[in-house]
Amino acid sequence: MYYIVETDKSFDQASENLEASVKRNGFGVLYIHDLGNTLRKKGMSFEEQCKVFEVCNPQQATRVLSADMRLNMALPCRISVFTEKGKTKIGLIKPVNMLSALSQDQALLQVAREVEEKTIRMVDEAK
C-alpha cells in the first residue's frame, strides 16, 4: 500500500531533490504543505519534519476526471518527505492500491499504473 524509502540526505536536501525530480518527470508541484511547521505554529509539540508535495500531471488527471468526476477527491497525488526517529524518508500511497479501492474501470487502473511507475521513479531519484 505504501512505498517509502530511507535516505542519507537531510530533510531539506531530500525535499529539494524531490521537487526537481517531479519536474523532470513531467509533473508539476501544485502545493507543498509543511505539516511540521504548521503544527508547531498551532502550539503543538511536534519534533519531526514533514512536507507533503501535491503533484499532478495534467494529461493523467484529465483522463481520470473524464472517466469519473468523483475521483477528484483522490487527486492530486501526494508524495511526502518526512523524518522519523532521526531518519529522513520519502514516500507515497501507491496510486494503484488507492484507485482500485475506488474504481474497477480498467482504463483508470492503467492510468494509475502509469502514475505509480512515475511517482516511484521520482522518489527513487530524490533518494
Name the average pLDDT for the chain: 96
Stretch 95-113: mean pLDDT: 92
**Closest residue by Cα to residue 70 from 101, 102, 94:** 102
Domain count, the chain: 1
pLDDT, tens digit, 9 for 90 and up, residues 21-51: 999 999 999 999 999 999 999 999 999 999 9
CATH of the domain at 80: 3.30.310.70
Q: Are 91 and 124 in contact (CB under 8 A)?
A: no
Place of cell 482500485: 100
pLDDT, tens digit, 9 for 90 and up, residues 67-78: 999 999 999 999
pLDDT, tens digit, 9 for 90 and up, residues 43-67: 999 999 999 999 999 999 999 999 9
Residue 118 structural domain: 2-126
| Share of residues in the chain with pLDDT > 90 (%) | 96
Q: Do you know the residue count of the chain?
A: 127
